[in-house]
Homo-oligomer: A and B are copies of this chain.
Amino acid sequence: MRPPTIRDVAARAGVSKSLVSLVLRGSESVRPEKRRAVLAAIEELGYRPNAAARSLSERRTRTVGVLLNDLRNPWFVELLDGLNARLHDSGLHVLLADGRLNRRLGQDLTRTFTELRVDGVVAVGTLQDPAALRTAADRVPTVVAGTREPELPGVDVIAGDDERGARLATEHLIGLGHRRIAHIAGRGAVGELRRRGFEAAMREHGLADTAVVEQGDLTEEGGYRATVRLLSRRQRPTAVFAVNDMTCVGALSAAEESGLRVPGDLSLAGYDNTYLSRLRHLWLTTVDNASHDVGRRAAQRLLDRIEDPGRPRTVDLTVPVLEVRGTTAAPSGGG
């Protein structure tokens, strides 16, 4: 017993399938009594339009594919929220795919997306394999959100101004009186920009000599290890600016483990203003990228590009805001 089709509805309502189609699409030119009859038939039969049939004939799916790098790192939640809100307003659905989850399975997600003929693709955050996006971008309107790479011809970018945000955090630490400040860097364009912001701020305040950079990998583990290395230096830093909140939590653990009090003995700042940083027990000073806004704007850019695929590439940066919480304070001793 198959689900009812538009023809079943038409038969029940005593009209043609074309008229049912008109009602479904909300046409003005259907007489009220016919409309009522059709709606009643739909209700009685429990009819649901078949999305596959519809997108086959409409030549669009009303679906946008969102490519994430890792569901475990929660920074994207806000972004997704904004993205979803705006896309929903335009009648588009969101299809989520986690690159990390699927890569292990040898699956090419951009391929899946092109087979599904999604109307657009949003790549969220630093991807493992940015080049893979190129093939997708050739076929379907594509937008990158929350990071600035890859830079591809027809691909818009919407992201926080990472360099500026990194300056904000660094200057906050300098303003508190810190001189020996370390940065735990991360991979990818985002990591690069945040490091650059850190270095620029330090340089401008004549602190280039005391600036230290350790490499992390955007994970808690990486943050922990980098901090252990930092704290074993002869001149240990009095403040650490971490590339993201996850890394900062790792730093927090390392500090605690070596008996340092935060922020008394060591100030820590993170980035992303994830809910992690808002957990009372962590309460990290961090930088907010207005991710919800990034998401909304990404949606808008994608809609624009769907409208006009040929439009020139845009780069859209949101202004980050410092979120001062419990992990930063003036240095205690001889600084």
Contacts and interface: CB of A to CB of B under 8 A. Distances in A.
B71 A116 contact: no
A256 interface: yes
A107 B224 CA distance: 42
Contacts of A56: 50, 52-53, 56
A139 interface: yes
Contacts of A148: none
Tally of this chain's copies: 2
Contact of A72 (B49, B77, B116, B249): B77
A158 to B, nearest CB: 19
Given A95-B95, A250-B280, A280-B250, A48 B111 contact: yes
Nearest to A68: B96
A71 B77 contact: yes
B51 A117 contact: yes
Interface stretch (A78-86, A164-172, A189-197): A78-86
A314 interface: no
Contacts of A77: 71-72
Interface of A: 3, 48-53, 55-56, 61, 71-72, 74, 77, 80-81, 84-85, 88, 93, 95-98, 101-102, 104-105, 107, 111-112, 114-117, 139, 220, 224, 249-250, 252-253, 256-257, 275, 279-282
Given A51-B52, A71-B74, 19 more contacts: A48-B114, A49-B115, A51-B117, A52-B53, A52-B61, A52-B117, A72-B77, A88-B105, A88-B107, A95-B95, A95-B96, A96-B97, A220-B279, A249-B280, A249-B281, A253-B280, A253-B281, A256-B281, A281-B281
